[in-house]
Chain A
Amino acid sequence: MLEARDLTKRYGDFTALHPLNLLVRPGDIYCLLGANGAGKSTTINLFLDFIEPSGGAAFINGLPVHERGAETKQFLAYIPENLMLYPDLTGLENLDFFCGLAGKSYPKAELLRLLREAGLREEFAQRRVSAYSKGMRQKVGIALAVAKEAKVLLLDEPTSGLDPQASNEFSALLLRLQAQGVATLMATHDLFRAKDTGTHIGIMKQGHLLESFRATDVSYEDLEALYLQHMHA
C-alpha cells in the first residue's frame, strides 16, 4: 500500500509538489497523468526516498519512507522510463545482482524462469545487456519486481518509447502483478494506457493533483477531454 499525507516538495521558492494526499491500495494501479513538470516524477522520487520531502510524509505499507527508507525498499520495485542495467553483465547477471542488493538469492534456473515469465527468452537472458532493446530491459525490471515479491510498484513513464507490442506485453505483466495484490503507482503521458490498465487516474499540473477518479468512471473520450481541459486551463 502507498500513501501520501500532505506530501510536499519545494526547491527554494519553487514548489514542485503542493501538499499531496493519495492512497493506493493493494491491487490498485494508480496512473498519474500530466505534462512534463507536473510533479509526477517528484512524487515517485519522494516514495523512493531519493529526495527529501519539504513537508508531509510518504508511507509504504504503513512505514514512513523518509525515516525508514531501507525497510520500505524491501517492499517496492521501481521501473523508470528508461530502465538501465549494467551493460557488461548479462540480463541474468543483472537480475541476480539486483536481487542480491534486495537481499534475495535465487538459483540460476529460478532466475531464468523469472526472466522467461517476464517475456525474455533464455537465449537473450544469457547475453550482455548492451545488446538489449528498451523493451527487453523493462522485462528484466518486471522480473526483478516479481523476484522481490514486491508489494508496491513505482513506474515512471515505463512504456514511453516502447513499440505497441512491447507496451501491450508490459501492460499484461502489470495486470498479472495487480492480480497478485501489488499496489502500483505509475506516472505516464499515455492516456490510453492509463484508461486501459489503471484502476485509478489522477491528473496533475504544476505540482497540484487536480483530479482523482476511478478509471471505470470515465470513457476514453471523457478522459481525453478532461485532460486537455486541465492542460489548457
Chain B
Amino acid sequence: MLKRIIHKEWRAALRNRQVLFFGLVVAALLLAASAVGYVSYAGQRAQMAQAQAARRAEWVGQGEKHPHIATHFGTFVFKPKNGLSFFDYGLDAYTGTSVYLEAHYQHEFMFRPAQDYSALIRFGELSGALVLQVLLPLLIIFLCFGAFTQERESGTLRLALSQGVSRRQLAWGKVLAYYGVVLALLVPTLAVALGGAFWLAGLPWTADLATRLALLALSYAGYFFGFVCLCVLVSAWASSSRNALLALLTIWITFSIVVPKTAAALGDNLYTLPSMQAYHQAIDRDVDLGLPGDTTKAGRRARLVRAYLRRYHADSVQQLPLNMEWMASQAGEDYLDRVQTLHRDSLRLVLERQNRLSTYASFLAPYLAVRNLSMALTGTDLSTSLDFQRQASAYRLGFMRQLHHDAAWHSTYGQFYEYHPGAALWASIRDFSYQLPAVESTLRQYRPELLALLLWVVVLPLALHRSTRRFPLT
C-alpha cells in the first residue's frame, strides 16, 4: 500500500512543473555554491601553502641575527582549511585564519574576508550549507504544503479513504514519498559537488573526514525528515492550501530568521564584549601592574633575579651560568601569555554565553541546531577557531622560549647584543602545524544541538503518527 502511495506521489511530483523548476533551481544553486566554495577554498589553501612555505624559507634563510630581532621578525601561522569548509564557510570569514606571531604582542587574526564585505553579507554568504539549511526547507514547503489540503479541496481524499486506506497510511506514504524526492534531488547533487571537490583538491580520505561527512549527512537527513513531517502534519490539519502555505512560511521565517536573529541580538545585549581598545589596554595594564595579588613588572623582574641567584648560589647576575637578561625576557613572555590567556578566557566566556542562547534556541528552531553542527563538523565554528587561537598562542610561547633559552645559554650578562645565531637555530624551530580537534571532542561541545536535532527527528514523526489517526476531511 505504502509503495503505491509513494509511487503515485513521485509521479505527481515529477509532473509538477513548479516543483521540478524549484528543485532544479535549488540543485543548481547547490552546485554553484559548492563550485564557488571550492574555488575559494582551493585559492585560500594554495595561498596559505605558498605563504607558509615562503615565510618558512624567509625564516630559515634570515641569516645570522640577534635573537631578539628574530623574535620580532616573527612568523605567520595558518589555520589550514578543512576539506569540508568549501561546503560550509562558517565563521572563518569573521574569525580569520592566520596570525602574525612575534615577541611582546598578540596580534589580531588576519585574512578575514568579512572585513571587505558589504552590508549584503547580513543575508549570509551563498554556501552549500546555506542552500541546505535555508532554501531546501522552502522547497520542501512548496512540495508538501498541499499534501492533504489539495486532496481535501479536490475531493480525492474522500475517494482514497473510501478504498480502505487509513489517513495514517496516506500520511506516511506521503512523508516517505516527499522525503524520497528530496533525497533523489540531493544525493546525486551532493555526490557531484563533494566528489568533484575532493577529486579536484586531491584530498586524502581519512577516517576523521569520513566520520565528519557521515555525521554531516545524518544531521541534514534528520533535519529534512523533520521538515517533511512538519509540512505533512500542517497540511493534514490546515483548513485550506493557502492557510497551510502561510503557516509553513511563517514557521520557516521564524526558524530561519526570527529566532536566530533574536537569539544573537539578545546575546549581544545581555553579554557585552569589550572593545578591542579596552581589551588590549586591560592586558597592558595587567602586564605592567601585575595581576591581582601580584607585583609590578619591575617587582617581578627583581623576584626572578633573586630566584636565579638562589638557585645557582650566586651573588650577582654576572656570576650566573646563563644570561639573565634573556631569562627575564622569557619571563616577560610567560607572564604576557598568562595575562593574555586569562583575558582570552574571559572573552571566550562572554562569547560562549552569547552562543549559549543560540544553542538553547535550537530547541525552538532546528535550523540553529543543524547550522551549529554543520559548522562544527566542517571545522569552521567558533570553538575550532578558539582552539586554533590556543594552539597558535602555545606555539608562539614555545617559539619565543626556544630562542630566549638558546640565547641565555650562549651569551653572558652584558653581552645582550653580541650573540648572533644562524640558520641551524632557525631551522631547529619546528613549523606550526594546526591539529584539528578529533570529531568526538568537537561534538561533545554540541550536545544540546544534537539533542535538539534528535528531538526534531523523533517528536515530529510521533506527532504526525498520533494526529493523523483522524483529521478533518472537509
Contacts and interface: CB of A to CB of B under 8 A. Distances in A.
Do A and B pair up? The answer is yes
Bin chain B's interface residue count.
20 to 34
A101 B164 contact: yes
Interface string A149-187: 000001000000000000000000000000000000000
A88 interface: yes
Given A89-B8, A101-B165, A103-B1, A50 B158 contact: yes
Given A97-B8, A100-B1, A101-B1, A84 B166 contact: no
A73 B159 contact: no
Given A50-B473, A88-B15, A73 B154 contact: no
A7 interface: no
Contacts of B155: 80, 82-84
B334 to A, nearest CB: 73
B211 interface: no
Contacts of B156: 84-86
B162 A86 contact: no
Interface in A81-125: 82-89, 93, 97-98, 100-103
Interface string A8-27: 00000000000000000000
Contacts of A100: 1, 4
Given A86-B12, A88-B12, A98 B159 contact: yes
Contacts of A148: 163
B162 A78 contact: yes
A76 B4 CA distance: 20
Interface in B154-189: 154-156, 158-166
B306 interface: no
A60 to B, nearest CB: 11
Contact of B12 (A73, A89, A98, A102): A89
Given A100-B1, A101-B4, A84 B159 contact: yes
A61 interface: no
A80 B163 contact: no
B158 A78 contact: yes
A206 interface: no
Interface string B206-246: 00000000000000000000000000000000000000000
Given A93-B11, A100-B4, A101-B4, A84 B154 contact: yes
B433 interface: no
Nearest to A156: B158
A83 B157 CA distance: 11
B16 interface: yes
Contacts of A50: 158, 161, 473
B4 A97 contact: yes
Contacts of B165: 101
A191 interface: no
A126 to B, nearest CB: 14
Contacts of B163: 73, 98, 101-102, 148
A83 B159 contact: yes
B11 A88 contact: yes
A89 B11 contact: yes
Contacts of B12: 86, 88-89
A197 B291 CA distance: 102
B231 to A, nearest CB: 19
A54 interface: no
Contacts of A101: 1, 4-5, 160, 163-165
A74 B154 CA distance: 23
A141 to B, nearest CB: 8
Interface string A49-90: 010000000000000000000110110111010111111110
A82 B154 CA distance: 9
A98 B160 contact: yes
Nearest to B16: A88
A100 B5 CA distance: 9
A50 B165 CA distance: 12
**Nearest 7 CB-CB pairings of A with B:** A73-B164, A100-B4, A84-B155, A101-B163, A78-B162, A102-B163, A88-B15
15 contacts: A70-B164, A73-B162, A77-B162, A80-B155, A83-B159, A85-B156, A86-B8, A88-B12, A89-B12, A100-B1, A100-B4, A101-B164, A101-B165, A102-B163, A154-B162
Interface of B: 1, 4-5, 8, 11-12, 15-16, 154-156, 158-166, 473
Given A48-B162, A73-B161, A77-B162, 15 more contacts: A48-B161, A50-B161, A74-B164, A78-B162, A80-B159, A84-B159, A86-B8, A86-B12, A86-B156, A88-B15, A89-B8, A89-B15, A93-B11, A97-B8, A101-B4
